[in-house]
Structure 1
Amino acid sequence: MSNIHVSQHPCVRAKLSQLRSSATGPRETRALVTEISSFLAAEALATSLTTIQTGEGTSALGEKYAVEDVAEKVVLVPILRSGLGMLEAFNNLLPTPAAIYHLGLFREKATLSPVEYYNNLPTTSANSGPPADLAIILDPVIATGGTAIAAIQTLKEWGVKKIILCSILGAKPGVNHAAEEWPEGVEVYLGAIDPKTTPQGMIVPGLGDIGDRLFLTIGK
Structure 2
Amino acid sequence: MASFNSNSSSSLPPNVHVSTHPCLRAKLSQLRSHTTNARETKLLIHEIALIVGCEALATGLESVVDGTDQSPLGYDYDRDTIAPSTISLVPILRSGLGMVEALQAILPNPVPVQHLGLYREKTTLQPVEYYNNLPYHRPSASNPANAPGPSELAILVDPVIATGATACAAIDTLKDWGVRRIILCCVIASEGGLRRAAAEWSEGVEVWAGGMDRECDARGMIKPGLGDVGDRLFLTMGK
Q: Quote the residue 2:168 is aligned against.
A: 149
1:6 corresponds, among 3, 18, 26, to 18
Once the two structures are TM-superposed, the CA of residue 54 in structure 1 deviates from its matched residue by 1.5
Q: Quote the residue 2:68 is aligned against.
A: 56
Q: Quote the residue 1:170 is aligned against.
A: 189
Determine if the alignment matches structure 1 residue 193 to structure 2 residue 212: yes
**TM-score, scaled to structure 2:** 0.90
Do the aligned residues in 1 keep the contact of 2:216 with 2:223 (CA within 8 Å)? yes
Q: Quote the residue 1:207 is aligned against.
A: 226
Q: Quote the residue 2:235 is aligned against.
A: 216
Do the aligned residues in 2 keep the contact of 1:130 with 1:160 (CA within 8 Å)? no
Cα distance in 1, alignment partners of residues 81 and 59 from structure 2:
15
Once the two structures are TM-superposed, the CA of residue 130 in structure 1 deviates from its matched residue by 5.6
Q: Quote the residue 1:27 is aligned against.
A: 39
Cα distance in 2, alignment partners of residues 98 and 41 from structure 1:
15
Determine if the alignment matches structure 1 residue 120 to structure 2 residue 133: yes
Specify the SS of the correspondent of 1:90: helix
Unaligned 5+ runs, structure 2 = 1-12, 140-144
Cα distance in 2, alignment partners of residues 86 and 131 from structure 1:
22
**1:36-51 superposed matches below 5 A:** 36-51=48-63
Q: How far does the alpha carbon of each residue in 1:120-162 deviate from its partner, in whole angstroms, 9 at most, with x for none?
A: 0001036669611110110000000000000000000100010
Do the aligned residues in 2 keep the contact of 1:143 with 1:201 (CA within 8 Å)? yes
Unaligned 5+ runs, structure 1 = none
Aligned AA (1:148):
A
1:16 corresponds, among 6, 28, 31, to 28
Once the two structures are TM-superposed, the CA of residue 20 in structure 1 deviates from its matched residue by 0.1
Give the aligned CA root-mean-square deviation in angstroms: 1.2
**TM-score, scaled to structure 1:** 0.97
Cα distance in 1, alignment partners of residues 170 and 211 from structure 2:
21
1:84 corresponds, among 97, 107, 121, to 97
Cα distance in 2, alignment partners of residues 7 and 152 from structure 1:
21
Do the aligned residues in 1 keep the contact of 2:136 with 2:149 (CA within 8 Å)? no
Specify the SS of the correspondent of 2:125: coil
Once the two structures are TM-superposed, the CA of residue 175 in structure 1 deviates from its matched residue by 1.1
Cα distance in 1, alignment partners of residues 173 and 31 from structure 2:
30
Cα distance in 1, alignment partners of residues 74 and 40 from structure 2:
44
Determine if the alignment matches structure 1 residue 181 to structure 2 residue 200: yes
| Runs of at least 4 residues off by over 2 Å | 125-130
Cα distance in 2, alignment partners of residues 3 and 30 from structure 1:
28
Do the aligned residues in 1 keep the contact of 2:118 with 2:130 (CA within 8 Å)? yes
Q: How far does the alpha carbon of each residue in 1:32-60 deviate from its partner, in whole angstroms, 9 at most, with x for none?
A: 00000000110000001012222110001
Task: Give identity over the alignment, percent.
Answer: 56
Cα distance in 2, alignment partners of residues 58 and 166 from structure 1:
36
